[in-house]
A and B are shown apart, each in its own frame.
Chain A
Amino acid sequence: MAESTIPYSFTPGTKAKASEVNANFLALADGLDESREYTKTEVTKLESKLDEKINDINNSNALKDLSNTNFITNCIIDSPNGIASYENTTITVKEGLKVLISDGRNSNGTVKSIEYTVDADIQYTPNMDTEKRDLFISSSGKISSYDIKDVYITTAQPPIEHTEGAWYNPIDNIWKVTNNKGTTWTESNIIKIGTFETDESTITSIKTESPINILKSIDKQQIMNWLFPDYNTIISAPLETVQQAEYSGMLVAMGGTNYSNVEIANISVGSSSTDLVQVTYSRIGGGANDRQTLFVPVPLGYWFKVSGHSSTVVAFFPMKGVTHA
């Protein structure tokens, strides 16, 4: 911005001409206009920079945008209004449905995805010449469907002898479609979101895929709790009996003795009932009037046995992650 100057200066004791005074005022008015324009331009620039920064933050925030994750793909990640419903001959894919559409792999082998969210309900009238069809949505919001006999999900090689169909290649992490009996397969950014049935004139049912649960960093306290015993679900466990853990949990043996030398509790654990390894040894010397408690974590499916004095009480505490407490 140029500095503001006035064209005429007046000295004390001299008369000022009206035209010169007016010219000074006009110069000042021009300067004010210029200043206002300059301020407006600078504010606009600042707003633009702020918008740019906010976009950068949003795009790199995993909680807002999962397209930057390398761990999951080809899945539904949110469906606040459900996934899809049907009425007569029309399927409605619901607003808010959020999917991660497979998009190949990075050079290091990690998966690439396109995150797509349905902005508003999408109506779709399918071909009803087959009884059961898989429902797809593309990264541009286009709905399509294929006879379930023509949809292949886990093969690394292209299926053959199908007039039209869709094929997910897990090696390349990409869906491909054909409409010329498999002569050519074209990469397509689509994802299967459900399967519907028809009586060849109307839709009779729809079964949608399930959204996956994504753990977020704010869930860490809950996750930590899963690894702690649930004291409301304690189960007694018989002594001197080989048992299999039906849940991951903590085995606790509490015992005491009197005058004799007594082995209070020996806990053995193993992956098979015939191959147990003793993991604790607890013995109280003669004359001692004492009590002891032992704790041993036991994973789901492992076998355990507690041997010891008849005063020993054995209990099993399933972990909270098992009991969903």
Chain B
Amino acid sequence: MLKYCKIVNLETGLCKVGLGTNTDFYKSIGMIELDVTQSEVDNQWYLTEKLNTPEYEEKKAIKKKEERIYEIKIKLDELDKKRIRAMCEPELKDGEAGETWLEYYNKQISDLRKELTELSS
């Protein structure tokens, strides 16, 4: 996207970017409009052309994988708490199918662990 900015590092394309609305101020301090993108890897702003590389796509994929692993771990923690309650207060989740809450949570945990193993391999 076009934003007023100053290039900090020519090699990496790292920029200082004006994020407010006062374009007159940005012009007065020597910023110019350039096509920049906020990196999904480190949240810094770079010239867009410097991010259109296989290396960046690879880093982005790794970051997404790390974030997914983090989300799974959070969910596993939450499900562990629910399983303790399900053991202490056993109840049927679905009377017709005869499925308990504990079985229901175990199934979810099993799916998440499988995904976690795949991501971690």
Contact surface of A with B, Cβ cutoff 8 Å: 230-239, 241, 246, 258-259, 289, 310-313, 315, 318, 323, 325
> A236 near B16 (CB under 8 angstroms)?
yes
**Interface secondary structure of A, over-half rule:** loop
Choice from B8, B41, B74 contacting A289 with Cβ under 8 Å: B74
Beyond A310-B41, A310-B42, A313-B43, whether A235 also contacts B19 by CB under 8 A is yes
Binds A, one of B22-30, B79-87, B94-102, B108-116: B22-30
Beyond A238-B44, A258-B70, whether A232 also contacts B20 by CB under 8 A is yes
Measured CA separation A132–B41 after assembly (Å):
65
A232 proximity list for chain B (CB < 8 A): 20-22, 25
Measured CA separation A313–B42 after assembly (Å):
8
Give the 5 A-B CB pairs with smallest separation, nearest first.
Answer: A258-B70, A232-B22, A232-B20, A310-B42, A236-B17
24 contacts between A and B (CB under 8 A): A230-B22, A230-B25, A231-B20, A233-B22, A233-B26, A234-B19, A234-B20, A235-B19, A236-B44, A238-B9, A238-B44, A241-B14, A246-B29, A258-B67, A258-B70, A258-B73, A258-B74, A259-B70, A310-B41, A310-B42, A310-B43, A311-B43, A312-B43, A315-B19
Least distance between A322 CB and chain B CB atoms (Å): 9
Determine if B45 is an interface residue (Cβ-Cβ < 8 Å). yes
Closest to B45 in A: A236
Measured CA separation A239–B26 after assembly (Å):
21
Least distance between A259 CB and chain B CB atoms (Å): 6
Measured CA separation A230–B29 after assembly (Å):
15
Measured CA separation A66–B75 after assembly (Å):
72
A323 proximity list for chain B (CB < 8 A): 22, 25
Could you mark each residue 26-56 of chain B with 1 if its beta carbon is under 8 Å from any beta carbon of chain A, else 0?
1001000000000001111100000000000
> A238 near B22 (CB under 8 angstroms)?
no
Closest to B46 in A: A238
Measured CA separation A233–B26 after assembly (Å):
7
- Other CB < 8 Å A-B pairs besides A258-B73, A289-B74, 13 of them? A231-B20, A232-B20, A233-B18, A233-B26, A234-B19, A236-B17, A236-B45, A241-B14, A258-B70, A259-B73, A310-B42, A312-B43, A313-B43
**Interface secondary structure of B, over-half rule:** mixed
Measured CA separation A73–B33 after assembly (Å):
46
Closest to B22 in A: A232
Least distance between A319 CB and chain B CB atoms (Å): 12
Measured CA separation A84–B8 after assembly (Å):
48
> B43 near A238 (CB under 8 angstroms)?
no
Least distance between B70 CB and chain A CB atoms (Å): 4
A230 proximity list for chain B (CB < 8 A): 20, 22, 25
B14 proximity list for chain A (CB < 8 A): 238, 241
B45 proximity list for chain A (CB < 8 A): 236
Least distance between B33 CB and chain A CB atoms (Å): 15
Measured CA separation A232–B22 after assembly (Å):
5
Choice from A236, A241, A246, A318 contacting B19 with Cβ under 8 Å: A236
> B25 near A233 (CB under 8 angstroms)?
yes
Closest to B25 in A: A233
> A238 near B74 (CB under 8 angstroms)?
no
Measured CA separation A25–B6 after assembly (Å):
100
> B16 near A233 (CB under 8 angstroms)?
no
B8 proximity list for chain A (CB < 8 A): 238, 241
Measured CA separation A325–B22 after assembly (Å):
9
B21 proximity list for chain A (CB < 8 A): 232
Measured CA separation A311–B17 after assembly (Å):
17
Closest to B63 in A: A310
> A234 near B42 (CB under 8 angstroms)?
no
Choice from B17, B43, B67, B73 contacting A235 with Cβ under 8 Å: B17
A259 proximity list for chain B (CB < 8 A): 70, 73
Beyond A241-B8, A311-B43, A313-B43, whether A235 also contacts B16 by CB under 8 A is yes
Least distance between B99 CB and chain A CB atoms (Å): 30
A246 proximity list for chain B (CB < 8 A): 29
